[in-house]
């Protein structure tokens, strides 16, 4: 637990947006506990400078993907807990938090069902031209699109953690052939779902769809770049619902422009909100980092983060602290 503790009645800044829109129970739990709540006043993702000003002397930060940098942390002298609503931690300077004795928690299991379903939905939309057909009909067109069936293809899953394994489970229902790569392959899972564990290189070369489900680390940053895209099939599809910088977007733009691959679907970007050149490609499906945004998963994420705040106020150990060896 962080050294800057105000048990019983902490000031709680909620920078994540939205929060409490689907279900007001998370907010009511904090209010019922007598906590002083400060809500994000801008109703959007805060910048570093905005978050620094917003935090002030708060004891707790309930956070989304806004940049919780060393500067933000050093300017929050009373901060004792960062409760991350979600799984990704690349936006949190964990070293700075640990050096200050600040506890960092997250909700790693809650978003997985929603992210995995969106991933499969993006695959289907690209394969069957769903978004393209919708746009055409609205403009008065009526040209049926001949697509591909998911169950007739080989899908390469890079990263088989909470989300990746759910994607594999969904794909089994379609009858897809699965190639997979993970730092610690689960052989029992492989046997259950007839997974072919293999290298990332083989996945890039052989898969009809490459889908990414890895955390953002120094190792995974730009995991997909010029070399990887050049080795993919010319009709291959790339799907990224993990973290934006896992894909080198400038290389992806080149690959799409030169027809090196068949298309891409991205829910995450190197800079968000996104407004770059990928918006000009009809074979590139783009969504606004909404992987976790299903009503049930969002409510679960918020309730789990609130539980961490309540435990902190009672002087109890957190349920889901970020592991001390997390990179």
Distances (CA, A) of 22 to 59, 219, 295, 301: 25, 36, 6, 12
Distances (CA, A) of 165 to 4, 214, 242, 270, 317: 38, 12, 13, 25, 29
pLDDT at position 265 over 70: yes
Same CATH fold assignment for domains 11-108+294-313 and 112-286: yes
Q: What is the pLDDT of residue 7?
A: 55
Instruction: Express each pLDDT in 119-172 by its tens digit.
Output: 999 999 999 999 999 999 999 999 999 999 999 999 999 999 999 999 999 999
∠ Cα 129 134 135 (to 5°):
100
Binned at pLDDT 50, 70 and 90, residue 324 comes out as confident
Q: Report how far residue 248's alpha carbon sits from residue 227's, in angstroms, rounded to the nearest whole number.
A: 11
pLDDT at position 30 over 80: yes
Q: What percent of the chain has pLDDT over 70?
A: 97
Q: What is the pLDDT of residue 326?
A: 75
Task: Give the CATH superfamily of 11-108+294-313.
Answer: NAD(P)-binding Rossmann-like Domain (3.40.50.720)
Specify whether the CB–CB gap between 204 and 231 falls below 8 A. Answer: yes
Averaged pLDDT of the chain: 95
Q: Report how far residue 65's alpha carbon sits from residue 15's, in angstroms, rounded to the nearest whole number.
A: 9
pLDDT at position 31 over 70: yes
| Structure tokens given for 199 | 């290298």
If one counts every other C-beta atom within 10 angstroms of the C-beta of residue 80, the result is 23
Instruction: Express each pLDDT in 175-232 by its tens digit.
Output: 999 999 999 999 999 999 999 999 999 999 999 999 999 999 999 999 999 999 999 9
Instruction: Express each pLDDT in 82-95 by its tens digit.
Output: 999 999 999 999 99
Domain ranges of the chain: 11-108+294-313, 112-286
Number of H helices, E strands in the chain: 12, 12
Stretch 246-270: mean pLDDT:
98
Tell me the catalytic residues.
243, 272, 289
- Beta strands (DSSP E) in 7-139 are 11-14, 36-39, 60-63, 81-84, 103-105
pLDDT at position 316 over 80: yes
Binned at pLDDT 50, 70 and 90, residue 1 comes out as very low
| Structure tokens given for 68 | 């919780």
Q: What is the pLDDT of residue 214?
A: 97
CATH annotation of 112-286: 3.40.50.720
pLDDT at position 325 over 90: no
């Amino acid at each position: 637990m962080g050294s800057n503790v105000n048990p019983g009645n902490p000031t709680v800044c909620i920078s994540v947006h939205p929060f409490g829109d689907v279900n007001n129970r998370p907010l009511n739990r904090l209010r019922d506990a007598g906590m002083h709540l400060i809500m994000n006043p801008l109703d959007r993702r805060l910048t570093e400078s905005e978050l620094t000003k917003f935090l002030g002397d708060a004891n707790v930060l309930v956070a989304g993907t806004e940049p919780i940098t060393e500067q933000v942390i050093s300017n929050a002298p009373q901060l004792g807990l960062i409760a991350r609503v979600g799984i990704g931690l690349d936006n949190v300077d964990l070293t700075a938090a640990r050096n200050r004795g600040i506890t960092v928690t997250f909700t790693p299991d809650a978003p997985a069902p929603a992210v995995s379903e969106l991933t499969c939905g993006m695959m289907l939309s690209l394969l069957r031209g769903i978004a393209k057909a919708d746009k055409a009909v609205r403009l008065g067109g009526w040209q049926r699109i001949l697509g591909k069936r998911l169950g007739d293809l080989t899908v390469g899953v890079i990263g088989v953690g909470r989300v990746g394994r759910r994607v594999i489970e969904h794909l089994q229902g379609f009858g897809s052939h699965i190639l997979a790569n993970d730092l610690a392959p689960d052989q029992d899972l492989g046997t259950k779902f007839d997974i072919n564990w293999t290298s990332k290189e083989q996945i890039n070369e052989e898969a009809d769809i490459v889908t990414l489900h890895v955390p953002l680390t120094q190792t995974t940053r730009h995991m997909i770049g010029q070399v990887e895209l050049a080795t993919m099939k010319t009709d291959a599809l790339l799907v990224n619902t993990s973290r934006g910088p896992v894909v080198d977007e400038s290389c992806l733009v080149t690959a799409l422009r030169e027809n090196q691959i068949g298309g891409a679907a991205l829910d995450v970007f190197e800079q968000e909100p996104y407004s770059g050149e990928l918006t000009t490609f009809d074979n590139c499906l783009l969504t606004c980092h909404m992987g976790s945004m299903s009503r049930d998963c969002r409510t679960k994420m918020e309730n789990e983060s609130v539980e961490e705040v309540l435990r902190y106020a009672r002087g109890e150990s957190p349920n889901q602290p970020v592991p001390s060896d997390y990179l």
